Amino acid sequence: MKTLYEGKTKDVLTDEATGAVYLLFKDSATGEDGVFDPGANTVGGSVEGKGKIGLKISSYFFELMEKNGIPTHYKGSDIEKGLMEVKKVTVPPLEFVLRYFTAGSMCRRFTLEEGIPFDPPYLEVTLKDDEQGDPLISERLCLMKNLLAPGQYEEALGVLEKVGALLRDEVAKMGYTLIDFKIELGYDEDGKVVVADEITPDIWRIKDENGNIPNQIDCAKMLLEKIG
């Protein structure tokens, strides 16, 4: 196995013999100043078993999406090895963000209270760039930078809304309220869109019935009990 890319919480590997592509889920977690935070751009520490738990949860949600007609990059997973086999797609450095409530950096940036509801949900597209703090990016700049082809921005927002509705309903069944989340999208050689990356508590904020927002480590443990 050859490492193609080393990320903060995942590496991308390839089996040079077969050409198959895998994501290795690592035990590192994003956070800042010793506090775990799925919104942070730095690694805040390591939690034994986090990688496998994240892989298990991702597999659960990718399978759920496929069942519900949302195409993903998921091909299968080997939990023991921490590996998810994925389709070979190009993933532009964009994050597609959906918010059901104001939270986190958005509240700081625009001096808004936490927890103001958005109906319909609030959609944002950001450029993945730690140094620039992941700035919001428009359709026009995505085209100018050749990150997306014409039509793909609107299509992406449509996929984002579908994923949002599915995730919101699923975590609601588990007793939680989805606050916000971000996904990455991939494109195959024909330009067909798939949900890529991971679907774990690293990509969302949820709140319990008391309004408490667990960090991604606690959230993963809670979720694992639900999905078994």
Contact region with a second copy (CB under 8 A), list: 140-148, 159-167, 188-196, 209-217: 140-148
- Tell me the closest approach of the beta carbon of residue 207 to a second copy, in angstroms: 20
User: How many positions of this chain bind a second copy (CB under 8 A)?
Assistant: 17
Which three-class secondary structure state does DSSP give residue 140?
helix
Structure tokens at 191: 């330009």
- Tell me the closest approach of the beta carbon of residue 135 to a second copy, in angstroms: 5
Q: With the CA atoms of 155, 162, 181 and 135 taken in that order, what torsion angle do they form, in degrees rounded to the nearest 10?
A: 10
- Let me know how long the chain is: 228
Looking at 18, 111, 146, 210, which residue binds a second copy (CB under 8 A)?
A: 111
Residue 116 interacts with a second copy (CB under 8 A): yes or no? yes
Cα–Cα dist 154/167, whole Å: 20
Q: With CA atoms as reference, report the closest residue to 70 among 226, 200, 186.
A: 186
Q: How far is CA 126 from the centre of its chain?
A: 13
- Comparing CB distances to a second copy, the nearer of 111 and 212 is 111
Cα–Cα dist 54/224, whole Å: 9
- Comparing CB distances to a second copy, the nearer of 15 and 154 is 154
Residue 135 interacts with a second copy (CB under 8 A): yes or no? yes
Q: Do the beta carbons of residue 32 and residue 42 sit within 8 Å?
A: yes
Reading phi first (left if > 0) and then psi (alpha if -120 to 50, else beta), residue 162 is in alpha
Neighbour tally for 141: CB within 10 Å: 14
Looking at 55, 137, 156, 166, which residue binds a second copy (CB under 8 A)?
A: 137
Residue 143 interacts with a second copy (CB under 8 A): yes or no? no
- Tell me the closest approach of the beta carbon of residue 107 to a second copy, in angstroms: 11
Contact region with a second copy (CB under 8 A), list: 4-12, 80-88, 134-142, 217-225: 134-142
Residue 166 interacts with a second copy (CB under 8 A): yes or no? no
By the criterion CB under 8 A, which residues form the site for a second copy? 108-112, 116, 122, 127, 129, 132, 135-137, 140-141, 144-145
